[in-house]
Amino acid sequence: MDDAAPGGTDPYPYPAPLVAESNQRLLAVDLGLRTGLAVYGRDGMLIWYRSRNYGNKTRLRKAARSVIEEAGSVDIVAIEGGGDIALPWVHEIERRGLDLIQVQAESWRRDLLLSRHQRNGPDAKKHADTLARKIIQWSGAKKPTSLRHDAAEAICFGLWAVRETGWLARFPPGLGI
């Protein structure tokens, strides 16, 4: 069966998913007292994003269960960060039998941001904000009234993780990646 639409155009938005299972999701988590969250669908599109202020490490550690529940039918959880605040998240992910991607910011920034935009943290966060807004627009997700840097980084990191899983064959054009 030919998947091409009339006129020979591809019926899927660029880039097409490798396997179209719409209920699969990836949750990207930028861990910190202010935690950024982004959920992507199997088609590589951003579904939703937000920022949460947990105020202290105890609340952040306890949040893993409810955040994963809120994200829906998650198959993969991608965490940026480590140390003692990541351990409860890793345990919850393992308890649920989900796949885990855990990296430091430098890993995804190297692939998504120009080297001159990674020289220091504030610069990297500024350019991640610009890229996150492009991802939001590309995905057709709700535009932010304000976008906190932790949510912006979760959006960028999430797109990187979607690409790493093979859900996207390549990054979308027009994002400057």
pLDDT in tens, 126-154: 778 889 999 999 999 998 888 998 999 99
Q: How many domains does the chain have?
A: 1
Q: Which domain holds residue 41?
A: 21-165
CATH number where 75 lies: 3.30.420.10
Across the range 20-38, mean pLDDT stands at 87
Give the CA distances from residue 92 to residues 37, 95, 118, 154, 165, in Å, rounded to whole numbers and listed in that order. Answer: 16, 5, 32, 19, 20
Does a structural domain hold residue 27?
A: yes
Average pLDDT, the chain: 83
Does a structural domain hold residue 50?
A: yes
pLDDT in the model for residue 110 = 83
Its pTM stands at 0.83
Least confident of 8-12, 56-60, 84-88, 105-109: 8-12
Q: What is the CA 86 to chain-centroid distance, rounded?
A: 17
Does a structural domain hold residue 15?
A: no
Res. 78: pLDDT tops 80: yes
pLDDT in the model for residue 123 = 67
CA nearest to 92, candidates 103, 106, 102 = 102
More confident: 115 or 6: 115
Res. 58: pLDDT tops 90: no
Res. 14: pLDDT tops 90: no
